[in-house]
A and B are shown apart, each in its own frame.
Chain A
Amino acid sequence: MLRFLSQAGKYFLLLKKVFSRPEKPTVYLRQTMFELHNLGFNSVGIISIISFFMGAVIVLQTAYNTENPIYPTYLIGLTCRDMLLLEFSSTVSGLILAGKVGSSIASEIGTMRVTEQIDALEMMGINSASYLILPKVIATLLFNPVLTLLSIVVGTLGGWLAGTTAGVITSEDFIYGIQYAFIPYYVTYAIIKTLIFAFIITSISSFQGYYVEGGSLEVGRASTKAVVFSSILILLFNVILTQTMLS
C-alpha cells in the first residue's frame, strides 16, 4: 500500500513537471507535430484493420445469435452501430493503442533514460519531463478522437460488407438500422472516453519509461508495465465512465 501511494505521488509530481511552462513554445509545437505523425497518423493502419474486422464480427455474431422472426433484421445494423460507438471503437481501440503506443513511449523514454539522454536534457536546463511527455500527451489528445471516429466509420463499413456478403442482412436494412434511434450523445460519450484513455496511455507509459533504472532489461520491463497498467486503468475508467455518463 505504501509503495502504491509512493508511486502515485511520484506520478502526480511528474505530471506537475510535465504541465509547467514550456521553455520555447515553437520547439514544443514542432515536437507535437512530430508526435502527431509518430503516435497518431502511424496508428491509422492498425486501427482501421482491427475496426473493420471488429465491425464484421459484431454483425455476424449478432445475426447468428438473434435468428428469431420477431427481431427485425435492421436491429443488426443498430447493434453494430451502438456497440462500436459505446464500447468497441473507444475501449478496444484504447486497449490496442495501449499496446502499440504505450510500449513505444515507455521504451523510447526508458532508453533515453538509461543512455543518459534525459540527463543531457536536464544539463542543458531543459525540463525533460515537459519536453518529452507534453507533446505526446497533446498529440494523442488531439489525434485519438480522430482514430475513434475513424474506427466507428471503418467498423460500420466492415459490418455492412460482412453482413451483405454473408447474406444475413440486406444493404437497405443495415443502413436503416445504423440510422434508427440514433442518440448523438453516444458520440460525445465515445470522444470523452477516448480523451481520458489517451491521457492514461501517454501519462502512464511516460511515467514507466521516465523512471527506469538499469539497462535494456529494465526498459523491457517498463514497456510491459506500461501496457499492463494502462490497460487495467482503461478498463477501470471504462466502468466508472459508463456508470457516471450513461446512468
Chain B
Amino acid sequence: MIRIKGLEKAFNDKVVLHDINVSFESGKTNLIIGKSGSGKTVLLKSIAGLHEPDKGEVWFGDILFNKLDFNSKKEIRKEMGMLFQGSALFDSLTVEQNVKFPLDMFTLETPEEKIERVNFCLNRVGIVNANRLFPSELSGGMKKRVAIARAIALNPKFLFCDEPNSGLDPVTAIMIDALIREITEEYSMTTIINTHDMNSVIEIGENIVFINDGYICWEGNKDEVLRSDNELLNEFIFANSMAKHLLTPRKK
C-alpha cells in the first residue's frame, strides 16, 4: 500500500500539487485521472521519488520513502517498476538486453538464468522472436510491452505507469490495460496508473483519483465515476460526447 500525506510540489513559483492526501491499495489498479497539465505526472514522479516533494510524506507500506537517504531509497527502488509515457527503453540495447538490464545490475544469477527470466517476462507480455531487435525497430505497442517486461523483471512490489496508452490505437491500448491489470493481480502489486483515457477508467479503474489544477477533487471507483455529481469530474469525463455512451452497459 502507498499512502500520501500532505504532499506539495512547486516548480519555481508555480505550485503544481496542493496538499495531496491519498492512499493506493495493493493488488489493485489505482488510476490517477485528470486533464493535461493537472499535475498527474508530477504526482506520480513525486511518489516514485523522481521529484523531491517540497512538503508531505510518501509511505511505502510502513517506510517513509521520501525521507530516506540516497542509498536507502535505492534499495526500495529495486522493488519498483515504472512504465514511462515514451517507454524509455535504452536505445543502444536490444529488447533482450533492455529486459536483462535490471537483472545484470542487481542479481547474481547466471547468464542462463537471466535469459530464462528475460524470456519468461517477454512471453508474459506477448513478445516473441524479438529478442535481438532494437527499440527503434519496434512499434509503439511493442515498446510499451517490452517496457512492462523490463519493469516486472525483478518482481516489483510497486508498479507506476505514466499514460501507458498514449499514442496507441484503441485495440492495443485495451490490450496494454488488460496486461497491466493481470500483472497487478498476479503479483499482488500496488499499481498506480496516470491516464486520461476513458477506456482505461472504465475497464481497469478499481480505485480512481481525479486531480484538477493540483488538487484532488474526487475519489471513487469505475462504478461510481460515471454517476458522480462532481461538476469538474463530469466536465472531464463527458468532454467527449462519445463518453456519454459509456453510461450504457456494453455488450461483450
Which A positions have Cβ atoms within 8 angstroms of B? 23-24, 27, 111-112, 115-117, 119-120, 122-127
Contacts and interface: CB of A to CB of B under 8 A. Distances in A.
8 contacts: A23-B106, A24-B104, A27-B104, A116-B84, A119-B82, A119-B88, A123-B80, A123-B160
Contacts of B90: 117, 120
Interface in B30-85: 45, 48-50, 73-78, 80-82, 84-85
Contact of B86 (A116, A126, A127): A116
A117 B86 CA distance: 9
B91 interface: yes
A2 to B, nearest CB: 15
B88 A124 contact: no
A127 to B, nearest CB: 8
B84 A124 contact: no
A124 B77 contact: yes
A63 B105 CA distance: 58
Nearest to A115: B86
B56 to A, nearest CB: 20
Nearest to A24: B105
B102 interface: yes
B84 A120 contact: yes
Contacts of B82: 119-120, 123
Give the top 4 A-B pairs by smallest Cβ distance, nearest first.
A125-B77, A125-B74, A120-B88, A116-B88
A240 to B, nearest CB: 34
Given A117-B90, A122-B50, 11 more contacts: A23-B106, A27-B104, A111-B91, A112-B91, A119-B88, A123-B48, A123-B77, A123-B81, A124-B102, A125-B75, A125-B78
A27 B101 CA distance: 10
A116 B48 CA distance: 14
Contacts of A24: 104-106
Most buried by A among B73, B80, B102: B102
A124 B50 contact: no
Most buried by B among A24, A112, A123, A127: A123
A126 B77 CA distance: 9
A122 B77 contact: yes
B105 A117 contact: no
Most buried by B among A112, A115, A119, A120: A120
Nearest to B84: A116
Contact of B105 (A120, A122, A124): A124
A120 B147 CA distance: 10
A23 B103 CA distance: 12
Contact of B50 (A112, A119, A127): A119
A120 B86 CA distance: 11
Interface string B89-119: 1110000000001101110000000000000
B86 A124 contact: no
B106 A125 contact: yes
Nearest to B82: A123
Interface in B105-160: 105-106, 160
Contacts of A127: 74
A19 to B, nearest CB: 14
Contact of A27 (B77, B105, B160): B105
B124 to A, nearest CB: 19
A24 B105 CA distance: 6
Nearest to B90: A117
B160 to A, nearest CB: 8
A240 B82 CA distance: 47
A119 B84 contact: yes
A84 B43 CA distance: 57
A59 B50 CA distance: 57
B86 to A, nearest CB: 6
A119 to B, nearest CB: 5
A120 B87 CA distance: 9
A120 B160 CA distance: 11
A49 to B, nearest CB: 27
A53 to B, nearest CB: 33
A116 B76 CA distance: 20
A139 B53 CA distance: 36
Contacts of B45: 119
Contacts of A112: 91
Contacts of B104: 24, 27
Contact of A116 (B49, B85, B102): B85
A123 B150 CA distance: 12
